[in-house]
């Protein structure tokens, strides 16, 4: 609702999209889905809060998943707990 009520909200949203697309995703999720800052808090922050934003953007036609390494995060997070892991 704020997007339509606040004149500057469109600019805020565009800034956030650029930040996620160009900075946060490329520099925080590695090629194999690992979070480069280690294990502390990445599931809570990145996957809980960040994915809510990314999902909302996807529903509205802005797919920030495309071209990112997010599709490997689940494999990375569950890999050590999978019985067939070499």
- Tell me what percent of the residues of the chain surpass a pLDDT of 70: 78
Question: What number is the average pLDDT over the span 53-77?
Answer: 83
Radius of gyration of the chain (CA): 15
pLDDT band (50, 70, 90) for residue 18: very high
Nearest residue to 28 (alpha-carbon basis) of 12, 13, 43: 43
22 compared with 74, residue with greater pLDDT: 22
Question: What number is the average pLDDT over the span 15-43?
Answer: 79
CA distance 63 to 85: 31
Question: What number is the average pLDDT over the span 1-18?
Answer: 85
How confident is the model at residue 15, as a pLDDT? 93
């Amino acid at each position: 609702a704020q997007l339509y009520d606040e004149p500057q909200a469109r600019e805020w949203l565009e800034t956030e999209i650029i930040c996620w697309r160009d900075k946060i995703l490329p520099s925080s999720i590695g090629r194999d889905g690992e979070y480069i800052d280690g294990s502390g808090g990445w599931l809570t922050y990145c996957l809980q809060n960040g994915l809510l934003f990314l999902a909302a953007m996807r529903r509205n036609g802005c797919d920030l998943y495309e071209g990112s390494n997010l599709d490997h995060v689940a494999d990375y997070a569950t890999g050590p707990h999978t019985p067939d892991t070499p």
